[in-house]
Amino acid sequence: MIVPAEYSARAMQELRLYEQENPPRRPKVVKPFVHQNALPGVVAYVLVICAVAWLAGESYFAKDWVGAGRVDGVLVRAGEWWRTITALTLHAGLRHLLGNLVFGAFFGLFAGRLLGPGIAWLAIVLAGASGNALNTLLLESSHRSIGASTAVFAALGLLAGFVWRAKLMSQEKWPYRVGPIVGGFALLMYTGTGDGSAESNTDVGAHLMGFLCGLSGGVLLTLVRDQLVRPRWQISAAVLALLIIIVAWVVAFLA
């Protein structure tokens, strides 16, 4: 812009005032995030699920594993809380088992990279059990179910909640801000609602409750985000996750 010489001083003053009132935007400093080794958690998940499948198939300890460990609405409401955990490790057949192994390992891998293998799988177990409990309370008391799919979708919710609340994606535009949540729900709808046929045994309620519990857990874990890299936390969480499953099965057989 060209101004007459007699207005040059005033023009310079106006420009200085404008710069003072409109300082240049400084880009937000993105907090670095350390991705952790998720493989141990995925391997442990596969081993636990396959071990229980084999033991149940062989009726080890002369026990009916499915009868003792499945979610049963009447019994859960009567206080048999362990069924919300043991049911996560049971499957109705090879196809059911393989599906949950693949999807569980996939979502668990990403959750482990963000949260660490121990904390991720402890959160998945707790969210999956909570999802089973909520689903049982919302359905008829005759409801029965088995399968790790509730935990699988808890892992998906865990990812969505943590990525969203920790702002690991761009926050400049609102579609990016809600992207993790929308993406999580989209995957839930695509993979967690079955084929819509009358023959489908997909427990949509359990999937939804598992996802919502995982979502809440992911949001809460952002409060201790800086502590997730501690090896002691990861080891302690991994041991606790395994103990929860073992204790639940011991109680199931002693009840």
Two tokens, residue 78? 């009567």
Q: Which pLDDT score, from 0 to 100, does residue 249 have?
A: 97
Residue pair 214/115 in contact (Cβ under 8 Å)? The answer is no
Residue with tokens 């919502």: 212
Q: Which pLDDT score, from 0 to 100, does residue 153 have?
A: 93
Structure letter (DSSP) for residue 115? H
Q: Which pLDDT score, from 0 to 100, does residue 199 have?
A: 41
Among the residue ranges 46-60, 128-142, 236-250, the one predicted with the least confidence is 128-142
Q: How far apart are the C-alpha atoms of 84 and 150, rounded to whole Å?
A: 10
CA 151 vs. chain centroid, Å, equals 8
Instruction: Provide the CATH number for the domain formed by 35-254 in this structure.
Output: 1.20.1540.10
Give the mean pLDDT of 88-108: 93
> At residue 170, does pLDDT exceed 60?
no
Over residues 102-116, the pLDDT tens digits come to 999 999 999 999 999
> At residue 54, does pLDDT exceed 70?
yes
Q: How confident is the model at residue 22 (pLDDT cuts 50, 70, 90)?
A: confident
For a pLDDT cut of 70, what percent of the chain falls above it? 80
> At residue 218, does pLDDT exceed 60?
yes
**CA torsion angle 192 193 197 199 (round to 10):** 60
Over residues 175-186, the pLDDT tens digits come to 555 656 666 767
Q: How far apart are the C-alpha atoms of 159 and 87, rounded to whole Å?
A: 22
The reported pTM is 0.82
Task: Render the burial of 92-127: b for 16+ CB within 10 Å, e for the rest.
Answer: eeeebbebbbebbbebbbbbbbbbbbbbbbbbbbbb
Strand, coil or helix: 66: helix
Give the mean pLDDT of 238-252: 97
C-alpha distances out from residue 114 to 33, 53, 227, 228, Å: 8, 29, 12, 9
Residue with the larger pLDDT of the pair 194 and 47: 47
Terminal C-alpha separation, the chain: 86
Strand, coil or helix: 145: strand
Average pLDDT, the chain: 85
Residue pair 82/248 in contact (Cβ under 8 Å)? The answer is yes
Q: Any idea where the domains of the chain sit in the sequence?
A: 35-254
- State the DSSP string of 224-252: GGGGTT-HHHHHHHHHHHHHHHHHHHHHH
Q: How far apart are the C-alpha atoms of 75 and 56, rounded to whole Å?
A: 20
> At residue 210, does pLDDT exceed 80?
yes
| Contacting residues for 187 by C-beta, under 8 A, at least 6 apart | 156
What is the chain's Cα-based Rg? 25
Q: Which pLDDT score, from 0 to 100, does residue 82 have?
A: 96
Over residues 134-160, the pLDDT tens digits come to 999 887 777 889 999 999 999 999 999
